[in-house]
Chains A and B, each alone.
Chain A
């Protein structure tokens, strides 16, 4: 199988510092007085990974790790400062869903505009328009200005358009589900359906459960450095969760295993603590409340573990 995305030694540099917002006059003045400074900032350093068709890559890392910048480079919005990125096939990148809509256009016009930006044809949009609107539940608002929609409606529309995607590569940045209760579930289901249809994808998420559920490869970034790229998803996600608690990066594979172990132990410990706490609480109830609670407990015992009651009755008789 061939590589769908081949990222080789990719580094991306941002330039920050004086130049932004100072204007031409000030720029000339500072250049003349030798007061002009620029700072470099590497958002990503030396990142290498390959994913094949059907792979789902999860990217993890705390804020400012360079995840979004990397996604921009893969989707072609940005050009890496060093290194190369090779991609095969069409890419649909869903980064910050509601950005780029136009408040002064109607819902319908915005739908077509967004479709055009995602690279669809007019015929395709004509065909899909009805289903987009009905999925977003916005039938009554088609001719409303986008500005007049609530933020929930906006993200519903954005999500519904994005759901159409039938690309070779799908890039998701924290957009697995949107909206309120019912729609949240609907959109989450829809996304899962798309992801499990065998599309090649990249998923950035702070919800580690999603990464465990959906991804078969994991890339861990920290302050632009690549900590790992591996297909041992559970192991590394465990270690990552340990890192979130102890703020210590692994130095070697042994470290990762140790951290994963520690995390699992922690989870065990937490669960035991929880269990003990719950038992204590229930005991309190049985002890302090009136006899009804005890009676209820006895009824349940009779139902679930009658042999226990028999045994104790037998003991009493003997005594």
Chain B
């Protein structure tokens, strides 16, 4: 079956799953949606209050600088956390009806993406308040967003498979998330480090995505072609590993669910 045939066959299911996830998330409350915008804002407020005096004195637009990091990290966190649970949460369906299991992961990712969109609009609002000049380069932000989304799907595929096999994946992943959060230069600058260490930061995909955002928004410069390729490489690598993992263990999930 080609991809297009598959898509048209399962489009209805996909739409219904997305709408289910969305409704479930906000439980039909007005505040539910507001909260998903408020939560990163409050998080930002805490970070800015705590770190401005400590690290932000020499950083222009420090609030936006931190927000770039938060924006990417919160999208990554939410999308992969939800994706991780997507198979186990739908076990009642998966064990009874023959549907492609990755559907549940994808629909979950869509609702995270919508949430990200909301946060992104608040981000732009804050950019205006912070007197950031909007240029045509902002359009390029679509590139890291696409890469990040693919990256998230790949990581979600791996995690959801692990979560089926090992119930404590959730706890271990939380620890890993904290580590990634500290290693991604969310609230500090890296130009204080030696050149070698600075290069090491490029091994961290999330740092790359954050860096892209900062280049466009704060430095008003477009990253190099190599940097674009690096972002794409991470996205594709994650998706490839995820797809391989999923294909390999797909039929075994049922024994564990």
Considering only CB atoms, which chain A residue lies closest to B172 in the complex? A24
For residue A19, which residues in chain B have a CB less than 8 angstroms away from its CB?
165, 256
For residue B97, which residues in chain A have a CB less than 8 angstroms away from its CB?
77, 93, 95, 100, 117-118
Q: A78-B251, A116-B13 are in contact. Are A100 and B166 (CB under 8 A)?
A: no
For residue B93, which residues in chain A have a CB less than 8 angstroms away from its CB?
99-100, 117
Interface bin, chain B? 20 to 34
The reply to whether A78 and B12 contact each other, CB–CB distance below 8 Å, is: no
The reply to whether B13 and A109 contact each other, CB–CB distance below 8 Å, is: no
Interface locus among B19-27, B32-40, B53-61, B121-129: B19-27
Q: A21-B167, A77-B97, A104-B27 are in contact. Are A119 and B16 (CB under 8 A)?
A: no
- Identify B92's interface contact among A14, A78, A99, A125, CB under 8 A: A99
Interface string of B89-127 (1 = CB under 8 A from A): 010111111110000000000000000000000000000
A77–B94 CA distance with the chains assembled, in angstroms: 8
The reply to whether A120 and B12 contact each other, CB–CB distance below 8 Å, is: yes
Q: Which residues of B contact A (CB under 8 A)?
A: 9, 12-13, 15-17, 19-20, 23-24, 27, 90, 92-99, 162, 165-169, 172, 251, 254-256
Give 29 A-B contacts (CB < 8 Å), ordered by A residue: A14-B255, A15-B255, A22-B166, A22-B167, A23-B168, A24-B168, A75-B98, A76-B98, A77-B94, A93-B96, A96-B96, A99-B95, A100-B90, A100-B97, A102-B24, A104-B24, A104-B27, A109-B19, A109-B20, A109-B23, A112-B16, A113-B17, A113-B20, A116-B12, A116-B16, A117-B13, A121-B12, A122-B15, A125-B12
Closest 3 pairs (CB-CB, A-B): A23-B168, A116-B13, A24-B166
Q: Which residues of A contact B (CB under 8 A)?
A: 14-15, 19-27, 72, 75-79, 91, 93, 95-96, 99-100, 102, 104-105, 109, 112-113, 115-122, 125
